[in-house]
């Protein structure tokens, strides 16, 4: 009686191992791609928020009392161009000393139907 000594893997075992590695690497690549997209989205959202806060700060510092309605404008931050829409709304209590400001910010390259990166709500007191 001779005992046969196997010192290697069969072709089937190698194929299964390669399949498992390929599936795992595919998942890793997808996760890394999503992380890169999320990083870009978060940085754009941060810059858009700064643009909106800057516009509201300009209104507060300049002692401006904007008319009710909508105003559009553009700004540049972080080597990107942004567009914003400022809506001045009457508060619910019909106050004559406070105005509500809603400021929405988009990247200039986004189409007009895109959701804004941020919408900031602020209140101005009469100067």
Q: Which domains does the chain have, with CATH numbers?
A: 11-125 (3.30.1300.30)
Single pTM value for the model: 0.73
Residue 77 has pLDDT above 70, yes or no: yes
CB atoms within 10 A of CB 51: 27
**Is 116 in contact with 49 (CB distance < 8 Å)?**
no
pLDDT digits (tens, 9 = 90+) for 57-75: 999 898 878 888 999 999 9
CB atoms within 10 A of CB 120: 19
């Amino acid at each position: 009686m001779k005992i046969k000594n196997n010192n290697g893997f069969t072709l089937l075992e190698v194929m299964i191992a390669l399949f498992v590695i390929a599936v795992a690497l595919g998942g890793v690549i997808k996760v890394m791609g999503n992380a890169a997209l999320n990083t870009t989205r978060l940085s754009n959202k941060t810059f858009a928020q700064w643009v909106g806060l800057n516009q509201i700060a300009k209104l507060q510092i300049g002692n401006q009392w904007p008319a009710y309605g909508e105003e559009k404008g553009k700004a540049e931050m972080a080597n990107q161009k942004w567009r914003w829409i400022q809506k001045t709304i009457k508060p619910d209590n019909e106050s004559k000393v406070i105005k509500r400001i809603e400021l929405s910010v988009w990247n200039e390259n986004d189409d007009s139907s895109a959701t804004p990166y941020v919408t900031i709500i602020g209140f101005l007191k009469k100067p």
